[in-house]
Amino acid sequence: MGQDARLESLRTKHENLEHQIEEEENRPLPDPSMVYNLKKHKLRIKDELNRMPD
């Protein structure tokens, strides 16, 4: 996988996680552990994106 493809893949995953977090938080009874895990995963992806050269 080329760097551009990897970068796009990470951005897509980051965006999908953001949507999943929003959906979970807007449920009548959100699962705090699910939100925590999603945010943790999103942060790992963001860190990886920040380490990649533009």
* Whole-Å CA distances, 46 to 10, 21, 28, 51: 8, 15, 28, 9
* Whole-Å CA distances, 40 to 3, 15, 37, 54: 23, 14, 5, 23
Phi/psi-derived region of residue 23, left when phi > 0, alpha when psi is between -120 and 50, beta in every other case? alpha
The number of domains in the chain is 1
Q: How confident is the model at residue 50 (pLDDT cuts 50, 70, 90)?
A: very high
pLDDT of residue 53 exceeding 90: no
Domain limits for position 16: 3-51
Q: Is the pTM of this model over 0.75?
A: yes
Rounded mean pLDDT of 48-54? 87
